[in-house]
Amino acid sequence: AQSVTQPDIHITVSEGASLELRCNYSYGATPYLFWYVQSPGQGLQLLLKYFSGDTLVQGIKGFEAEFKRSQSSFNLRKPSVHWSDAAEYFCAVGGNAGNMLTFGGGTRLMVKP
């Protein structure tokens, strides 16, 4: 069975500081990995995805993530956080057999001025 763990439920960073959100997955084959962002009252928006190839993927809004197979991780990073980045972030894993995504529990990001 596939699963995703996001160890940090809440993270607070100062505006302008760097950010790293952790994601660990369990999947029996080559995973497809995703990061979504959810602002209050909004649906989930895709930030970036990894299917194959370069293990460092770039996404929207200045985010990037690195796939590390040996650590079963897909951590999300941003070099300089903006106040508008405050939201909930979800990591998800899926496989190429079908579009069933398994989401992690989410990390709520708060940004201090």
Out of 1, 28, 29, 43, name the contact with other proteins by CB under 8 A: 43
- Choose the binding region for other proteins from 12-20, 21-29, 69-77, 101-109 (rule: CB under 8 A): 101-109
| CA 26 to the chain's CA centroid | 15
Number of C-beta neighbours around residue 93 at 10 A: 24
51 binds other proteins (CB under 8 A): yes
Q: Which of 23, 81, 94, 109 forms a contact with other proteins (CB under 8 A)? A: 94
Residues binding other proteins: number (CB under 8 A):
26
Binding status of residue 1 toward other proteins by CB under 8 A? no
Residue of 11, 13, 19, 44 interacting with other proteins (CB under 8 A): 44
For the four alpha carbons of 82, 52, 36 and 71, in that order, the dihedral sign comes to negative
CA pair distance 75, 107, nearest whole angstrom: 12
Rounded to an integer, what distance in angstroms lies between the CA atom of residue 77 and that of residue 99?
25
Closest CB to other proteins among residues 65, 92 = 92
Q: How far, in Å, are 31, 51, 62, 107 from residue 98 at the CA level?
A: 12, 13, 29, 26
Enumerate binding residues for other proteins (CB under 8 A).
Answer: 4, 9, 32, 36, 41-46, 49, 51, 90, 92, 94-101, 103-106
